[in-house]
């Protein structure tokens, strides 16, 4: 199996960094091929504009989706975007590792999705949801929160974590055809002991060792 890991945390020594390294080490030890995009280390530019392309459809007015469709037809994506697209297309499983920021993705990861999930190449032409481009591939969100689990329940202070993740899991991943696995959520790692953090890393590694047999969550659950 080929796994694509996308990391969106600036500090390698963070708990997100530890989850990211654990995933790489565990999956490679299990014999899987692992591709990586460590966005901060890459200094990935999240700003989406004409730099996404080497081709030009309309030089007078920039509409990103039109330029994406044209670039799909003429192989006109900028090298950095094309490289990320090929990682998407080559993988069997994609994992995003990130801290939850403002109830969503960190800007660098959202910008990566804005640039890489290009119309024509990754969706469009009736290729959505169960008929999406990435049908048969699986995706998984691995994330940390600042607050404890209790505040991310229905009726809790921040509301249901699954409702928070819905725009990502359904609006980006399932929309483009991915089968979505249950998210790996570590609540408030900064607030727990080192022993508890180590236990969560071990649990993550154990899950990844059996990930090939894991089933996607039902669409109605997100």
Domain boundaries, the chain: 2-221
pLDDT tens-digit map of 91-122: 999 999 999 999 999 999 999 999 999 999 99
- Residue 221's pLDDT is what? 60
Please state, rounded to an integer, the average pLDDT across all residues of the chain: 94
- Cα separation, 201 vs 205, whole angstroms: 6
Beta-sheet pairing, 33-38 with 93-99:
unpaired
Answer yes or no: is pLDDT of 31 > 80: yes
- Residue 219's pLDDT is what? 67
Mean pLDDT within 38-51: 97
pLDDT tens-digit map of 67-93: 999 999 999 999 999 999 999 999 999
CATH 3.40.50.150 holds for 2-221:
no
- Residue 153's pLDDT is what? 87
Answer yes or no: is pLDDT of 222 > 70: no
Task: Give the pLDDT band of residue 59 (cuts 50, 70, 90).
Answer: very high
Q: Is the pTM of the predicted complex or chain greater than 0.75?
A: yes
Mean pLDDT within 9-24: 95
- Residue 188's pLDDT is what? 84
- Residue 210's pLDDT is what? 96
- Residue 146's pLDDT is what? 87
């Amino acid at each position: 199996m080929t796994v694509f890991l996308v990391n969106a945390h600036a500090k390698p020594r963070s708990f997100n960094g530890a989850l990211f390294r654990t995933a790489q080490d565990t999956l490679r030890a299990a014999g899987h091929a692992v591709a990586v995009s460590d966005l901060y280390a890459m200094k990935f530019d999240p700003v989406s504009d004409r730099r996404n392309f080497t081709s030009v459809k309309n030089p007078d007015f920039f509409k990103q989706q039109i330029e994406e469709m044209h670039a799909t037809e003429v192989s006109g994506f900028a090298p950095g975007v094309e490289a990320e697209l090929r990682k998407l297309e080559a993988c069997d499983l994609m994992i995003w590792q990130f801290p939850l920021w403002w109830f969503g993705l960190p800007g660098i990861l959202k910008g990566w999705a804005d640039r890489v999930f290009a119309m024509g190449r990754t969706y469009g032409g009736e290729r959505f949801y169960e008929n999406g481009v990435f049908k048969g591939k699986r995706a998984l969100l691995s994330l940390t929160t600042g607050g404890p689990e209790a505040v991310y329940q229905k009726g809790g202070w921040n509301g249901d974590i699954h409702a928070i993740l819905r725009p990502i899991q359904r609006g980006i991943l399932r929309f483009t055809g991915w089968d979505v696995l249950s998210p790996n959520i570590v609540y408030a790692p900064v607030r727990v002991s080192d022993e508890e953090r180590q236990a969560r890393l071990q649990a993550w590694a154990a899950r990844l060792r059996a990930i090939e047999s894991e089933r996607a969550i039902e669409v109605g659950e997100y």
